[in-house]
């Protein structure tokens, strides 16, 4: 049985339109135009125990709304869902003890108190025995290398240190399901890598299920074997990361460095111009045409260096958004 099972989940919001100005305000008193916006529309998917799933999409796609419904914060307009065998919006005590939600832009820590105080608060909320609490805190702080920051005011911590403390606070009660909403947003590369490594270790050790949203494709590529892509409230892709590569088609990225400035328009007949930066021009070109076209470019223009690369995951995902 899937640990997360979603069938036809829908969430819409009603709102009223208003014309600008005083006249619009007066008109709005007597007649208002109601509209409905679907944040999530009839989505279905299932997640097995121990999976790490990348749940991605552009801003406003419905990612956070979905996580809020699966964690019981929002009621759906229609559809069904179970997490750990519980209906989330019934908010049973046993359900709330079985999952954790971490949002990179929200904090559960008291910023004016040392981090250990917030951890102690969670200890009492989840009724964690003293010995288990000490062992868990020691283990998690060692894994994330933040042992020396437990007694430091949260406001004095760096963003990366605070995010690590947020993860520790959420994992004290050892949840079976972990919802992560952009946990690495705004972090430097070293902090992002540290958190990714930690999540890998935690998943391997505990078998916890992770549903991760992120705008950083590095998070998705390194942590997830499967990704669900949502756009405009609907799921447009659900499958393995490796299968995403089929969307790159038969094209390659060619980066050309010239010894002098070259007008990009002169190269447009050879392929699609993606970017220009001083003497560097980046093009997208059909793979089976490279052997014919590249020698023409090399013999016609002052090419100093060139590289041939696969299309990046960012561009593949962007093309899926555009096509949906």
Instruction: Enumerate domains of the chain plus CATH numbers.
Output: 4-245 (3.40.50.300), 249-323 (3.30.70.250)
- Largest Cα–Cα separation, the chain: 74
Report the distance separating Cα 169 and Cα 182, nearest Å: 17
* pLDDT given at position 183: 81
* pLDDT given at position 324: 61
Report the distance separating Cα 158 and Cα 166, nearest Å: 12
* pLDDT given at position 88: 95
Taking a C-beta distance cutoff of 8 angstroms, is the pair 99, 47 a contact?
A: no
pTM of the model: 0.78
**The dihedral sign for the CA sequence 24, 30, 33, 37:** positive
* pLDDT given at position 249: 62
The parts of the chain modelled with pLDDT lower than 70 are 24, 104-105, 245-250, 322-324
């Amino acid at each position: 049985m899937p640990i997360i099972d979603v069938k036809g989940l829908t969430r819409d919001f009603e709102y009223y339109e208003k014309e600008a100005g005083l006249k619009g305000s007066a008109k709005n008193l007597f007649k208002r135009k109601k509209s409905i916006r679907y944040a999530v529309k009839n989505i279905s998917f299932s997640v097995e125990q121990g999976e790490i799933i990348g749940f991605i999409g552009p801003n406003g796609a419905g990612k956070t709304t979905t996580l809020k419904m699966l964690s019981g914060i929002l009621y759906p307009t229609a559809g069904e869902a179970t997490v750990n065998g519980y209906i989330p919006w019934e908010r049973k005590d046993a359900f709330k003890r079985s999952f954790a939600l971490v949002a990179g832009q929200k904090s559960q820590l008291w910023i004016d108190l040392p981090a250990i105080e917030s951890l102690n608060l969670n200890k009492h909320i989840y009724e964690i025995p003293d010995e288990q609490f000490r062992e868990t805190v020691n283990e998690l702080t060692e894994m994330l290398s933040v042992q020396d920051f437990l007694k430091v005011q949260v406001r004095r911590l760096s963003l990366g240190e605070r995010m690590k403390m947020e993860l520790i606070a959420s994992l004290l009660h050892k949840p079976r399901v972990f919802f992560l909403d952009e946990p690495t947003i705004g972090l430097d590369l070293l902090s992002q890598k540290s958190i990714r490594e930690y999540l890998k270790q935690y998943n391997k050790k505990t078998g916890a299920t992770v549903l991760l949203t992120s705008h950083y494709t590095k998070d998705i590529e390194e942590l997830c074997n499967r990704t669900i892509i949502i756009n405009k409230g609907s799921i447009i892709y659900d499958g393995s990361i490796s299968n995403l590569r089929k969307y790159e088609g038969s094209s390659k990225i060619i980066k050309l460095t010239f010894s002098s400035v070259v007008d990009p328009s002169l190269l447009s007949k050879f392929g699609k111009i993606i970017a220009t930066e001083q003497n560097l021009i980046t093009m997208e070109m059909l793979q089976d045409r490279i052997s014919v076209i590249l020698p023409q470019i090399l013999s016609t223009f002052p090419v100093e260096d060139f590289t041939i690369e696969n299309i990046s995951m960012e561009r593949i995902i962007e093309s899926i958004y555009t096509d949906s």
